[in-house]
Every structure is written in structure tokens, then in C-alpha cells.
Amino acid sequence: MTEQTESQREGVWAHPYQLASGQTQQHQLGHTRVWITLLDLEWQVREEKLDIHSDPLHWQETLGHTVPSADIPVQRFVRMDDQGIVRFNPAMGCRPTVIRPFQPLTIPAGGRCLLYVGTSLWMKVCVGDGQTELTEIPLAVPSMTWLGRNTMEGELCYASSTFGRLALEAVPKRPWRAVTPVTIINRREQALLLERFSLPTPLLALYRNERGQLWTPGVTVECETDMNSASLNIEQSVPACAGQCQLVAPPREKLAKGRRLVRAFDRMFG
Amino acid sequence: MIEAIEATFIQLISGIAWGQWLAAGFLLVLGIFLGTMLARSVGRLVESRTSRHHQVLIRRLVFYVIFVLFAIAALREAGFSLEVVLGAAGILTVAIGFASQTSASNIISGLFLVMERPFEIGDVIEADATIGEVVAIDLLSVKLRTPDNLYVRIPNETLIKTRVVNRSRFPIRRIDLVIGIAYAEDVERVRDLLLGLAETNPHCLEEPRPFVLVTGFGPSSVDLQFSFWVAREDFLEGKGGMMVAIKKALDGAGIEIPFPHTSVYAGSHSEPFRIQLVGSEQQQEKELPDVDNKT
């Protein structure tokens, strides 16, 4: 492959990038490096997990004519009528995500608390004006956990690598994470010890504000009588603290009527 | 003579009510056809709402109900009275029951299996020293597909009598690995190393928490049990991947995984023990020392 001058920019979600045949676009985002190559008859997607222990701050996007070494596995997709347009759409996890506060937190009887939670995203590679999805790439290696009363009843969830924070400033803002404000209301007569809770990530839509940060609508959990009977409510829009936002990705699953209670009754708190 | 036989034959043939028999046959064929069609469409209708197991059960039920209805209609058409047929069937059942006890027992065991539901189609079970995925639960037997792609038929009666392990019932499974380390090694350091591996392995669940137990002091090693949980479908990858990771990590940290040692000494290299016999001189003269007569 011939080397050409490569331009490095900051990547943008849901932006229509125009590629010419033979060009390769490289993205370094979160713990993943992705290469998208456009050829005359096919798209090629390569992905590599980065073994880094820090939280990368930026999304680096590079356009050039160099493809990575042959060791990196390649996924090939037949081209259709796409005019060389590729978009990278964010998506929330397909399973609920278990969040922990930094330290177990007690909510007194009748009290409420607002926690800000950052969850890792998935990147959907979509081509053409119709946004045909080619593949989906996790931007951080998802680790799994089990949430349930015992090992028979429960649900497999993703474990969040970050903690829920009381102060919005304490939540690290990254282009590969979305922020969700979670309000927990304790209507019981006893205090509620919050060690971990399950955030229904597949039900959350994603919005982008003018600073390029991704937000989801707020989630309210009301704990009424005992730990297992909590009701869940997802707001229609993002909170005011997120600023002016526009929708970039709809939720993976629609909240079906009647399902709300089932989910909430099931296992909100571990 | 031949003419007489011919006449009798013609009389016999013309005596049979062909129309009735044809109608009965047609009804039977129609029953099979309609039953299959209806079972298929009902199966498709419930496909998205139920498991594969229930779908197969519903399809069978629909088919048998339709077929039995058409069979009764066919018998009526052929001129049989239903009461007589049922009576005959009763006598026949007793006779057949005695003659085919095994089949009857299998059928009844099959009914119990369907009611008790210890496993469903698609589950991986372990029964009668066979491990495999359940591909069919039939009237007489359950069919399994083993991991090496063999088709195994296990009679229902055997399944009722023996211990059956369902490996797919719960969504998560625990993997217990037994690891032996040398007596000279620091057990706590090894424990921390193993728990660190569980934390970095993507298949390993964070909760229920992984743990390490010292299970015993073996002849040549301190035996540890390293237990961690994985999602059911990640069992093989989780186990294999973790074994490789453990070997690498222990080698990297310079921790010895001992194997049984046996020392064999050749007689020529070791001096024999010196034995001095104490007793009367006579005896000493009679009995020559076995080992060393220089002393």
C-alpha cells in the first residue's frame, strides 16, 4: 500500500464520513482501535482491543491509505448502493448494567438521591444513506455479572467499570461513555442501603449535547415496600443539566406496557 | 369347478361395499393431511411465543387430536360401531399390554417425563453415562445428540429410573479447578494471583465472587480449589482459557506446579547397612553374617 499524508481529527458520532475506494479510516476510541476500509466491491472492518489500564480521553480519527498488519482479523461486507458513506452510531449495552456507588450508600427513610452513572457504549458501523448496519463493536471489554436472589433466579448483566457518583463533576466524561442520571426514592419506613443496582441500559435512548457528550434520559427508581418491589420510570427527555441535546440513537428495546413492573419487581437491587 | 370358484369370487368382491371402504380410506388420508397441515401452522403460530419444547408438544397434540377424530369418522364410514371397536380395543389393550410390557412402561414413563419436565428439547443432559443435547422427546424414547455427533436413543423407562443431570437448567455455572503448588510456595500469593486472573478474564462473572480454597496437603503438593462462575454458554471457553492463563501466570511468577516424584536408588551406589549379630560364638560360627563379614 502506498503511504499518503494522513490527517488526524477528533471523531464524531453519527457523522456521515465520505470515503473513496482504497481509503482506510482508523478510529481509536475507548479501549478499541477500529479500521474501516472501502474497496471497489467491499467494506472491510478490522478491530483490535487495546490493553490499556487508563481511560483514554479523546476519539482519534485518522484517514489514510494504510491497512494494519495481517494479524488483525478482518470482517468483509459486500457493498451495496452506499456511495462510500459510513456513520458510527453509538448504542447502549444489550443487557442491563450493574452499577455500584463508590462506597455503599444509605438513603434514609423518605429520602431520595441523585446518582450520575457513566456506562460504556457499543459502536455500530452503518453505511449508506439508509444506514445499513454492518457490525457492532464494544468500546470497552464488557465484564459480566449475575444479579439475582440466588444462582437459580436472576439475570446476566454487564458490570460497570465505573462507579455511580453523587456529583456530576466527579463522573468522567468520555466520548465512549454515556451519562445517565438515576434518581432513587426511598418511600419505605426503613433506610435503604444501596450497594448495587441494575440500570436497564437496553431501554435507554442516546442524546448528544453541543459539547459532543452523550447523555441518556433520566431514570427514576421508587422503592416502596421492600427491596424487590421497586418501580422504574424512564423520562421522555434528557435532564436540563445536559444542555441542548439531539437524539442520536433510539433505545435497543421498547418498554412494553406491563413489562415495566415485571422488570422492576424482578431484580432492581441485588 | 373353476366356474364355481369364479362365481364365488365375483360374489365375494361384489359383496364388499367398496364405496364405504374408499370413503373411509379417504377420510384417514384426509385426517393425516389436515392434521399435518394444521399442526404445522399452529406450530408456526406459537413459534415466537413458546420454547421449542412446547412447540413440539403442541404440534403433536394438534396432529393426534385431528387424526383420532378422522380415524373415528373413518371407522363409522366403514360400518364399524364405535362401541364394538372400543370394546375390542379394551380386550386388545390387555392382550397387548401383557405382550409388550416394555413398550407400555416406556409410554407411561414418557408421560411422566412430559409432566415432570426435568429437561426440554435443546437442553444438554447427562443420563446413563451419555452427555448430549435433547433433540426429541418421543412416546418411547428420548433422542440425544452427543458432542461428537452421535445419535443416542435412551428409553424413557431408563430416564425415569436413573439419575439425570440437566446442564442447561440454570443460566450460570461454576467451574472448579484443582491446582497443586509446591510446598515451598506462598499460598496467599498464589491465591491473589488466581483471583487477579478471574478479574481480568472476560468470561468470568464478577458475582457470585470467585474464591480459592486450600483443600488438602497432598503427597507432593498443596492442593488448591479455584472456583469461578461463568455464563452457561461460556463453560468450555471459560475453563480452557482459564487453565492456559493459570499455567502462564504461575510459570511467569516462578511458582512451581509439582508432579509426583519417585526416587529409585540402584543397590551398587548405596552402602548396605552394617549389621552386627550379638549372641554365642557357636551361633556366630554357624550363621554367617548376611551382609558384611569383614567386621
Q: Residue B143 is part of a domain; what is its CATH number?
A: 2.30.30.60
Q: What is the mean pLDDT of chain A?
A: 82
Q: Rounded CA gap, A194 and A223, in Å?
A: 11
DSSP helix/strand/coil, B20: helix
On whether residue B158 sits in a domain, the answer given is yes
Where does the pLDDT of residue A4 fall: very low under 50, low under 70, confident under 90, or very high at 90 and above?
Answer: very low
Residue B2 phi/psi, 5-degree rounding, is -60, -40
Cα-to-chain-centroid distance, residue B67 = 33
Q: What are phi and psi of B76, to 5 degrees?
A: -60, -45
Model pLDDT, residue A192: 83
pLDDT confidence of B211, banded at 50, 70, 90? very high
**Helix, coil or strand: residue B104:** helix
Listed range (A39-43, A76-80, A256-260) with the worst mean pLDDT? A256-260
Q: Residue range A101-114: average pLDDT?
A: 85
Q: Is the peptide bond before B118 cis (omega within 30 degrees of 0)?
A: no
Counting residues of chain A whose pLDDT is more than 90, the rounded percentage is 10
CA dist A201 → A96, A118, B117 (Å): 5, 11, 34
| Domain membership flag for residue B128 | yes
**How many Cβ atoms from other residues are within 10 Å of residue B152's Cβ?**
16
Verify that B37 and B77 share a domain, yes or no: yes
Beta strands in chain B (DSSP E): 124-127, 130-137, 141-145, 151-155, 164-166, 172-181, 211-217, 222-231
Q: Are residue B156 and residue B197 in the same domain, yes or no?
A: no
Look at A2-16, A177-191, A225-239, B142-156 and tell me which has the smallest mean pLDDT. Answer: A2-16
User: Using an 8 Å Cβ cutoff, are B84 and B75 in contact?
Assistant: no
Domain shared by B79 and B138, yes or no:
no
User: How would residue A265 be classed by pLDDT, with cut points 50, 70 and 90?
Assistant: very low
Q: Which residues of B touch A142 (CB under 8 A)?
A: 202
Q: How far is A98 from chain B (nearest CA, A)?
A: 10
> Which of B99, B130, B155 is the last residue in one of the domains?
B99
Mean pLDDT over B254-261 rounds to 82
CA-closest candidate to residue A270, choices B195, B205, B213: B205
Which residue bears the cell 457523522? A15
Residue A171 has a pLDDT of 82
Residue of B nearest to A146 (CA): B207
3-state secondary structure of B286: helix
For residues B226-245, give the mean pLDDT.
91
Average of pLDDT values for B208-235? 91
Residues B27 and B60 in one domain: yes
Confidence at residue B295, expressed as pLDDT on a 0 to 100 scale: 43
Model pLDDT, residue B139: 80
Q: What is the pLDDT of residues B30-56, one digit of tens each?
A: 989 998 888 888 888 888 777 777 788
- In a domain, residue B6? The reply is no
List C-alpha distances in Å: B48 to A49, B41, B54.
Answer: 36, 13, 11
- Which cell numbers in the block locate residue B29? 388420508
Q: Are A178 and A61 in contact (CB under 8 A)?
A: no
Percent of chain B with pLDDT over 70: 88
Residue A264: pLDDT above 50? no
Question: How large is the average pLDDT for residues A153-175?
Answer: 83
Which residue type does B106 have? N
CA A208 to chain CA mean position, Å: 12
More confident position, B98 or B187? B187
Residue A232: phi, psi to the nearest 5? -115, 135
Note whether B79 and B135 are same-domain residues.
Answer: no
CB atoms within 10 A of CB B196: 11
- The CATH number of whichever domain residue B195 belongs to comes to 3.30.70.100
pLDDT in tens, A48-89: 888 777 777 888 888 888 888 888 899 999 988 888 889 899
Q: What pLDDT shows up at residue B174?
A: 93
Tell me, yes or no, whether B211 lies in a domain: yes
B3 domain-assigned: no
Q: What is the distance in angstroms between the Cα of B72 and the nearest Cα belonging to chain A?
A: 45
Choice among A126-140, A161-175, A217-231 with the minimum mean pLDDT:
A217-231
Domain C-terminal end among B43, B64, B99: B99
What spatial distance separates the first Cα and last Cα of chain A, rounded to whole Å? Answer: 53
Q: Is B284 domain-assigned?
A: no
Domain range enclosing B125: 119-166
Output the pLDDT for position A228. Answer: 61
Residue B231 DSSP SS3:
strand
Average pLDDT over residues A181-200: 85
Q: Is B159 in the same domain as B185?
A: no
Is B207–A270 a contact, with Cβ atoms under 8 angstroms apart?
yes
**Whether B140 and B184 share a structural domain:** no
* pLDDT score for B194: 93
Per CB-CB distance under 8 Å, the chain B contacts of A270 are 207
Q: Is the dihedral of CA A14, A20, A21, A22 positive or negative?
A: negative
Cα A175 from Cα B28, distance rounded (Å): 68
Q: Write the DSSP symbol of residue A170.
A: G
Convert A65-74 to b/e letters by CB count within 10 Å (16 or more is b).
eebeeeeeee
Task: Please count the residue pairs, one from chain A and one from chain B, whose beta carbons lie less than 8 angstroms apart.
Answer: 36
Confidence of residue A259 (pLDDT cuts 50, 70, 90): very low
Cell of A254: 421498547
pLDDT at A102 over 90: no
More confident residue, A180 or A53: A180
For residue B11, is it within any domain?
no
Check if the beta carbon of residue B242 is closer than 8 Å to that of residue B175.
yes
Are B35 and B91 part of one and the same domain? yes
Do A152 and B170 lie within an 8 Å CB cutoff? Answer: yes
Res A268: pLDDT: 57
What are the residue ranges of helices labelled H in A192-231?
none
Q: Give the Cα separation of A235 and A129 in Å (integer).
A: 30
Regarding whether B134 and B80 lie in a shared domain, the answer is no
C-alpha B200/C-alpha A98 separation (Å) is 17
* In contact, A233 and A220? CB cutoff 8 Å: yes
Q: What global pTM score does this model have? A: 0.73
Chain A: give the shortest CA distance to residue B43, in Å.
25
**Given this model, what pLDDT does residue B210 score?**
94
Structural contact between residues A137 and A35, judged by C-beta atoms closer than 8 angstroms? no
B142 and B206 inside one domain = no
| Best mutation target, A31, A52, A94, A151, to test chain B (most B CBs within 10 A) | A151
One domain, residues B222 and B182: yes
Closest by CA to A35, choosing from A88, A83, A78, A79, is A88
A221 Cβ under 8 Å from any chain B Cβ: no
Residue in the block written with cell 434514609: A108
Please tell me which residue, B42 or B17, carries the higher pLDDT value: B42
Is the model's pLDDT at B21 over the cut of 60? yes
Number of domains in chain B: 3
Q: Contact at 8 Å (CB) between A123 and A136?
A: yes
In a domain, B234, yes or no: yes
On whether the CB atoms of residues B226 and B246 are closer than 8 A, the answer is: yes
Q: Looking at B166, B193, B224, which one is the last position of a domain?
A: B166
Domain match, B95 and B153 both: no
Q: Distance between CA B17 and CA B68 in Å, rounded?
A: 23
Q: What is the pLDDT of residue B266?
A: 61
**Whole-number pLDDT of residue A229:** 65
CB B31, CB B66: distance < 8 Å: yes
